[in-house]
Homo-oligomer: A and B are copies of this chain.
Amino acid sequence: MTVAAGTPAGQASLRRHNMALVLRRIAEAGPISRAGVASQVGLTKATVSSLVEDLLEAGLLAEQAPRAQQRAGRPGTDLVLNSRGPAAVGVEVNVDYMAACVVDLAGTVRVNRLERADGRAISAEETLLRAGRLAGACATAARRRGLRPAALTLAVPGIVAEGRVVNAPNLRWSDQPVAEALSAGLGRRPLPISVDNEANLAALAELWHGHGRELSGFLYVSGEIGIGAGLIVDGELFRGATGFAGELGHMCADAAGPRCACGARGCLECWAGQEALLAAAGLDTARGTRLGAEESPITELARRAEAADRAALAALERAGRALGTVLASAVNLLDPGAIVLGGSYADLAPWIAPPAQEELAGRVTAGRWRPEALRTSELGAGAAVHGAASAGVRALLSDPLAAM
């Protein structure tokens, strides 16, 4: 709990704090008895029992059958997060696919669907309607498994503010509201809707389900058609003053470089963005010409690099150098602790990471760069939608009173 600096800490905020504390302990240590929770969090058994009653009633916790008695006294009943309780839906709209999933309170993905769709070929409203239908189908499937979907989070490759997509250039969206069209797709069972940037949500997924298990801070890089980043600091996402932080793709890699689609010269995306990379490798970026419609062009690029195709290797080497130059600047400015390469960079790391490492070693101040601080995401392409659903679950767990 953070008690706001300008207010006194009172009983209501203490109860809120302690309820989240108990729930988090059970999430981390369950199955666990009430007495076990009390001793681990430092509250009295009576306080814990009272908080647990409320959490059971709200369906956030479940009791397990009594264990075999090991000591004198009444046998303990263990507590776990309710796997048939509230759940959260994530849905991702990206340039050439959409995906949805449902995550339960324990963080397990219970339903997961993906649909190919070119977000540039249809209107934003139509895209959102289809995304809403996909999310609705996942929510229905989750209800059949006894879950109660309680929130929906949308992930988009763009800048988001106040529930709108301010700018998603690769989708060609600008100042686009999302809730109405998504809700229309969801149908008769509406959900509260949030929206966030896909790199932010993928970074959070990495924090909760990937390298974050060992690292409390890192810069997550999402290499897709655009290049986004999510900065994790002390286990929290850093959003910047107006929520626009993370535009790594438009950091300058070479001030005299070619003109970027954004209007500036020499942005990182001019070498390391997916379209520049494919073009430099001599791959047709239009889908369906040389590649099967269901296959990502990144898979083909990796195949060519494996076959030592000179154009592919040169393109990846140049992308890696540009990426390393920009990441070294980010490390000098931010000292993020570690960097995680995600999105398509996870698949391309064997070719992109070595030149990036060279630039980092040569450019990070005072020889402070440790090569092991550059890592590859284990989550792959599903990171953003997983993060979207998990964000909803985290919100339920961190403020259980709001879920009641």
Q: Which of B167, B240, B254 contacts A334 (CB 8 A)?
A: B240
CB of A399 closer than 8 Å to a CB of B: no
Contacts of A239 in B (CB 8 A): 335
Binary contact track A239-261/B, C-beta < 8 Å → 1, others 0: 11111111110111111100000
Contacts of A21 in B (CB 8 A): 5-6, 8
Contacts of A159 in B (CB 8 A): 366
CB of A18 closer than 8 Å to a CB of B: yes
CB of A264 closer than 8 Å to a CB of B: yes
CB of A69 closer than 8 Å to a CB of B: no
Most-contacted residue by chain B among A9, A18, A166, A263 (CB, 10 A):
A9
Contacts of A41 in B (CB 8 A): 6-8
- Total residues of chain A contacting the partner, CB 8 A: 65
A43 touching B337 in the complex, CB below 8 Å, given contacts A329-B326, A363-B264: no
CB of A111 closer than 8 Å to a CB of B: no
Contacts of A5 in B (CB 8 A): 1, 21, 24
CB of A365 closer than 8 Å to a CB of B: yes
CA distance A42 to B10 in the complex (A): 10
How many copies the complex holds: the figure is 2
Q: Which residue of B lies closest to A330 (CB)?
A: B333
CB of A382 closer than 8 Å to a CB of B: no
Q: Which of B243, B246, B335 contacts A244 (CB 8 A)?
A: B335
Q: Which of B248, B256, B362, B367 contacts A333 (CB 8 A)?
A: B248
CA distance A250 to B330 in the complex (A): 10
CB distance from A328 to the nearest CB of B (A): 7
CB of A325 closer than 8 Å to a CB of B: yes
CB of A3 closer than 8 Å to a CB of B: yes
Q: Which residue of B lies closest to A238 (CB)?
A: B233
Q: List 20 A-B contacts (CB under 8 A).
A: A7-B41, A9-B9, A9-B14, A9-B17, A159-B366, A166-B366, A167-B366, A217-B241, A229-B333, A240-B337, A241-B335, A241-B336, A244-B365, A246-B335, A247-B332, A250-B332, A252-B363, A265-B363, A329-B329, A333-B334
The residues of A with any CB-CB pair to B shorter than 8 Å are 1-3, 5-9, 14, 17-18, 21, 24, 41-43, 159, 166-167, 169, 217, 229, 231, 233, 238-248, 250-256, 262-265, 325-326, 328-330, 332-338, 362-368
